[in-house]
Amino acid sequence: MTGLPSDEALTETGLAPDARTGRILLLACGALAHEILALKSANGWDHMDLTCLPAKLHLYPDRIVTEVEKAIEKHRADYDQVFVVYADCGTGGQLRAACDRLGVDMVEGPHCYSFFEGNAAFAAKAEDEMTAFYLTDFLVKQFDAFVWKPMGLDRHPELRDMLFGNYTKLVYQAQTDDPALTDKARACADRLGLTFERRLTGYGDLAVALRALR
């Protein structure tokens, strides 16, 4: 793998597998590529290769299951194990069912906001944080592509309160300590009319799940 993929590429096209060196293929959402590559590099996990589906699949959660299934079938013969680095991601249990059917494992949790914070901790505060809108590092960087434009706020800013009126705060779950990204996250909160909170989560349960892969 030469260099880090751009956020735009991860959003639109995903990431082809590295040159095959590992025994385990991580089949991930493009929104998690940087975090997974950082973990791989920091821990020397050379037994894992990474491929990503386009992060924009999240705009159509009903397509996630089909695309993940297709990718598993495409790559599984080349690896000892395929591990799906998606949470439920709005599939209503369908992704877990597909993984079970195909005999592959996946990350636990309802979505990345939950596993970055730690699934248990996130669930514990779910009731208090019902009105929180979460952004991760990737989503802060890709705020326009994932939030502002798909919600039509670039063309119809008057829809903001219909779309976000029930939210009260934006929680930026920071995976890395980056002041520029924090500034951008704060600006995102301002644009949505929400109060701002930053929480340094690191990689949370994502690191735990990947560390367990042998």
Partner 1 sequence: MAEEEDDIILSELPDEELVPQMHDDLYDGLKEEIEEGVNILLERGWAPYKILTEALVAGMTIVGKDFRDGILFVPEVLLAANAMKAGMAILKPLLAETGAPRMGKMVIGTVKGDIHDIGKNLVGMMMEGAGFEIIDLGINNPVENYLDAAAREEADIVGMSALLTTTMPYMKVVIDTMVEQGIRDNYIVMVGGAPLNEEFGKAIGADGYCRDAAVAVEMAKDFMSRKHNQMAAG
- Tell the smallest beta-carbon distance from residue 181 to partner 1 (Å): 26
Q: By C-beta, is 149 or 211 nearer to partner 1?
A: 149
Single-letter residue type at 44: G
- Tell the smallest beta-carbon distance from residue 214 to partner 1 (Å): 29
The size of the chain, in residues, is 214
- Tell the smallest beta-carbon distance from residue 59 to partner 1 (Å): 9
CA–CA separation, 210 and 106 (whole Å): 10
CA–CA separation, 103 and 32 (whole Å): 22
- Tell the smallest beta-carbon distance from residue 162 to partner 1 (Å): 6
Q: What are the CB-based long-range contacts (under 8 Å, 24+) for 100-109?
A: 102/69, 102/72, 102/73, 102/76, 104/72, 104/76, 107/205, 107/206, 107/209, 108/205, 108/209, 109/205
Q: By C-beta, is 3 or 127 nearer to partner 1?
A: 127
Residues found near partner 1 in the complex (CB under 8 A): 60-61, 88, 90-94, 110-111, 123, 126-127, 130-131, 150-153, 155-156, 159, 162-163, 166-167
Q: By C-beta, is 58 or 141 nearer to partner 1?
A: 58
